[in-house]
Amino acid sequence: MTDQPKQGLARGLTNYGDRDFSIYLRRSFASSMGYSQEVLKKPIVGIANSFSGFNSCHRHFPELLEAVKRGVLLGGGLPVEFPTISLGEVYLSPTSLKFRNLMSMDTEEMIRAQPMDAVVLMGGCDKTVPAQLMGAASADLPAVQLVAGPMMTSRHGEERLGACTDCRRFWGKYRAKEVSAQEINQIEGRLATTAGTCAVMGTASTMACIAETLGMSLPGTAAIPAVHADRLRAGEASGLAAARMISNPIRPSQIITAKSVENAMRVLLALGGSTNAVIHLTAVAGRLGIPVSLERLNALSDTTPVLVNLKPAGSDYMEDFFHAGGMGAVLRELKPLLHLDTISVTGETLGDRLEVDLGYVDHRIISRASEPLEPQGGLVALFGNLAPRGAILKRAAADKNLFEKEGRAVVFNSLEDLANRVDDPDLEITADDFMVLQNAGPKSASGMPEAGYLPIPKKLSETGVKDMVRISDARMSGTAFGTIVLHIAPESAAGGPLALVRTGDRICLSVKEKRIELLVDDAELERRRAAWKPGIVPPEERRGYDRLYATEVLQADEGCDFGFLQSVVGHAGSAKEAEK
């Protein structure tokens, strides 16, 4: 029995001190699943399924799973589904980002521990795709990312609706008393009406596009709507691709390289994509020892045009993007700026892919590079004494009239403080002030939620104010919009300069100079720093995953990964160990 190939059930055997007994025992238990002896000789494609009743984005996964299995069988493999935890964005407390690293560990360890020769990763909702890419990069087994796909739009009267940019737009109108309670209740039931991820270029769709650009998803699959028949065909093709990689392995470490990461950064900028993607791409790349520099992001942003006219930066939806030509059309327009020698899970180079005629492209949705929506990228990193290690602004979805501005800080020291005071009629605030939120970063009690989209105080929104400069160490949803400075590093809970801001201080924002400065003299800041005390519960007073998170989470500019999960120099790759 010892001369059997180390694939399928013979991989990574449970150790009883007798290898032949291990495979004998494993086969006997596998037989109880109803498999024939011939089937048990086949190589195995694992299917990491993040379906959950607490994840409405993944509602269609049972049907999609069957398509993946069909593809694996067509490729001569044995499909074996296994569950991982799932992260439904709006269902998790305090925030889904806190559990992204846990899901990545679950994915990595189950890929490594269980006998499989390749894996299909089924994810979609905001943090599931980055978690799966992080886990797959660390396990380094041949892997194909299959995304859920975006939901379709709905209607409210003559208006087209799609979660969740329109959620925020109408909620803002409701707060401003432009929409009645009865109407907001009607809209609530019409914003998300099919399976799939948000219908705009939010975090989920941005990460789907990044996965395809990196080469971890099949070409042309990022934008297919969740309920479209092509999504099932993409599932079948992904299963087939994973099965084919068994005889010709292509590992994530061969696909996710410094060049493909830079391509992904270009695409993020051209999409006017989610600010969250900066954190996620940094974390994925970090698993393979590839640095993502915010200074480099700025250099790329200066030379990358915004091409995609989708909400929240534009006016259209993901289903329009799909029919307009999708990622293939975007990559073709960016071709002179891309590294064309990167490879995908198919083994094909990006250059080879772009040699194929794409067919019709709707340039109302995807602009030509010669006629861009904006000449510079959708995101910009800001630096200064308020953000020594950087902050992020989504300029494609912001008010340009606020880009060069000095204002008075109005400080909220926590999310609770914000909730308690933002609508207080006695709050001293004007439209020219800068709203500042502290203690909402990764080490804070709130775990860096999507709270950077601070609500405009009612006393201002009711007078027609639609946007203000808002500053925090929090994140914001990729579906959100506004002149919002995010991800300030180091964060206030770790003693960063943001913790030292006081109401009445002056702050200067210059998008042109990529600067954000607190206009308080150094001596006063040192006095405040000496008096500052951390307001978080120490890790030793916590338990379980909360304790691990508090101890290990890194800052936003490092991807908010855990320090011990970053690439270790000289590490040979977990999957290779399993083959021994």
Measured between alpha carbons, how far is 273 from 209 in angstroms, rounded to an integer? 9
Instruction: Indicate whether 221 and 318 sit together in one domain.
Output: yes
Q: Is residue 66 part of a domain?
A: yes
**Which has the minimum average pLDDT: 273-277, 366-370, 571-575?**
571-575
546, two tokens: 């909360």
Measured between alpha carbons, how far is 475 from 15 in angstroms, rounded to an integer? 44
Domain containing 418 — which CATH number? 3.50.30.80
Instruction: Indicate whether 128 and 211 sit together in one domain.
Output: yes
Q: Is 472 helix (H, G, I), strand (E, B) or coil?
A: strand
Instruction: Indicate whether 302 and 409 sit together in one domain.
Output: no
**Which has the minimum average pLDDT: 140-149, 269-278, 518-527, 562-571?**
562-571
pLDDT at 483 over 60: yes
Q: Is residue 102 part of a domain?
A: yes
Domain containing 85 — which CATH number? 3.40.50.2300
Instruction: Indicate whether 351 and 397 sit together in one domain.
Output: no
Task: Note the pLDDT tens digit of each residue in 51-86.
Answer: 999 999 999 999 999 999 999 999 999 999 999 999
| Domains: count for the chain | 3
Domain's final residue, options 498, 514, 531: 531
pLDDT at 153 over 60: yes
Q: Is 10 helix (H, G, I), strand (E, B) or coil?
A: helix
Q: Is residue 360 part of a domain?
A: no
348: containing domain = 42-152+194-355
Domain's final residue, options 134, 167, 188: 188
Instruction: Indicate whether 398 and 317 sit together in one domain.
Output: no
Across the strands, what pairs with 516? 509
**Which has the minimum average pLDDT: 190-194, 470-474, 502-506?**
190-194
Instruction: Indicate whether 180 and 221 sit together in one domain.
Output: no
Q: Is residue 556 part of a domain?
A: no
Instruction: Indicate whether 305 and 182 sit together in one domain.
Output: no
Instruction: Indicate whether 268 and 315 sit together in one domain.
Output: yes
- 3 state SS for 86-115: CCCHHHCCCCCHHHHHHHHHHHHHHHHHCC
Confidence band of 4 (pLDDT split at 50, 70, 90) = very low
Instruction: Indicate whether 172 and 308 sit together in one domain.
Output: no
Average pLDDT, the chain: 95
CB atoms under 10 Å from CB of 565, counted, come to: 20
Domain's final residue, options 514, 531, 548: 531
Instruction: Indicate whether 410 and 434 sit together in one domain.
Output: yes
Confidence band of 124 (pLDDT split at 50, 70, 90) = very high
pLDDT at 505 over 60: yes
pLDDT at 5: 52
pLDDT at 573: 47
pLDDT at 578 over 60: no
Instruction: Indicate whether 404 and 504 sit together in one domain.
Output: yes
pLDDT at 384 over 60: yes
The pTM of the full predicted model, rounded to 2 decimals, is 0.95
Amino acid at 413: N
Q: Is 55 helix (H, G, I), strand (E, B) or coil?
A: coil
pLDDT at 550 over 60: yes
Q: Is residue 487 part of a domain?
A: yes
Q: Is residue 408 part of a domain?
A: yes
pLDDT at 576: 52
Task: Note the pLDDT tens digit of each residue in 398-453.
Answer: 999 999 999 999 999 999 999 999 999 999 999 999 999 999 999 999 999 999 99
Q: Is residue 415 part of a domain?
A: yes
Q: Is residue 484 part of a domain?
A: yes
Instruction: Indicate whether 163 and 49 sit together in one domain.
Output: no
